[in-house]
Structure 1
Amino acid sequence: MGTPEPRLRVTVSGHWPVVVLACRGEIDHETYDLFADGALRALAGTEPDVVVDLAEVAYCNTSGLKVLRHAADHARAHGRRLSVATGGNAGLARVTGVADGLTLVGDPSEVFDSVHESPPVER
């Protein structure tokens, strides 16, 4: 019997001028801290563009929206841009779209293309 897969996996990767916080799984009251820690790591850098990639998130409740709103406010206050990639997930786009101040994109590559840089490398 193997170890059960965690309910949420979070990775932070980047290559100037973009950092990506990629999540896979579910964001709720039980995984909120892991998501918030990832957001803090992504915002700790100096890259002007931060992308939160939620394309592989099956569920996001208000706990996740609070993290996103706080991260967007922090980014703006420091002259940075935060985008949320929904991967074409219409339900997720609807949920995150109700949060004021969030810029939605389909895929992180849209942000890379806009700054003419290549995709990130793991850090």
Structure 2
Amino acid sequence: MAQQNESMTDTQQEIINLSEEKWQWMADKNVEALADLFHEKAEFVHMGGSWGKERELNIIESGGIWYKQTDIHEVSVNIIDNTAILLNRITLIAEVGGNEVTNPFEVTEVYVKLDDGWKLGSLSFTKLMSGGDE
């Protein structure tokens, strides 16, 4: 997992930790924690389409996509005012429609700082052409 280094700010480390927690909540199908993290207007982009918060939570809860294991290879965070943009290069082991699949992704996560803390505004998966089972 990501290690804090001298040039990383506390805010950057907080976002990395939050992202790692999110992957665990997705694996555990913890929709209560995710519902609190996901902003009401959040957008999710997958290989099969894009949709909002409620559909994403329903897909996770029903097991339509089960994010079984996320191996994080690289992570970076840029903070712009009250917005954090996190990039993860991951290998995702998921169960989709009853079939286990492994894919390499570059995942973009956008967090917005509100009065009640950081909220996920966007989660976007871009499949990479190498780095995992095709």
TM range (shorter): under 0.3
Report which structure shows greater RCO (CA 8 Å, sep ≥6).
1
Higher helix share: 1
Larger gyration radius, structure 1 or structure 2: 2
If the length of structure 1 is used for normalisation, what is the TM-score? 0.27
Higher strand share: 2
